[in-house]
Copies of this chain bind each other. A is one copy, B any other.
Amino acid sequence: MATEQPASLDPTQLDAYFALIEVTSLLRHAVEQQLKDAGDLSYVQFQLLARLGDSPSGSHRMTDLADGVVYSRSGLTYQAQLLEQRGLVTRAPAPDDERSTIVTITDEGRAVLSKVFPGHRALLTELLFDPLTTADVSALAGVLGRVRDHMRAAPPRSAAPRRRKGA
Contact = CB atoms under 8 A, between A and B. Distances in A.
Given A9-B121, A33-B156, A127-B150, A144 B20 contact: yes
A115 B22 CA distance: 24
B151 A26 contact: yes
Interface string A75-101: 000000000000000000000000000
Contact of A16 (B13, B70, B140): B140
B17 A151 contact: no
Contact of A137 (B6, B13, B69, B131): B13
A143 interface: yes
A145 to B, nearest CB: 5
13 contacts: A12-B137, A12-B138, A16-B137, A16-B141, A20-B27, A26-B151, A30-B151, A33-B158, A127-B150, A127-B151, A131-B149, A132-B146, A140-B143
Nearest to A31: B21
A59 to B, nearest CB: 20
Contacts of A111: none
Nearest to A29: B70
A71 to B, nearest CB: 8
A8 interface: yes
4 closest A-B pairs by beta carbon, nearest first, are A19-B144, A25-B70, A16-B141, A15-B141
Contact of A20 (B6, B33, B140, B158): B140
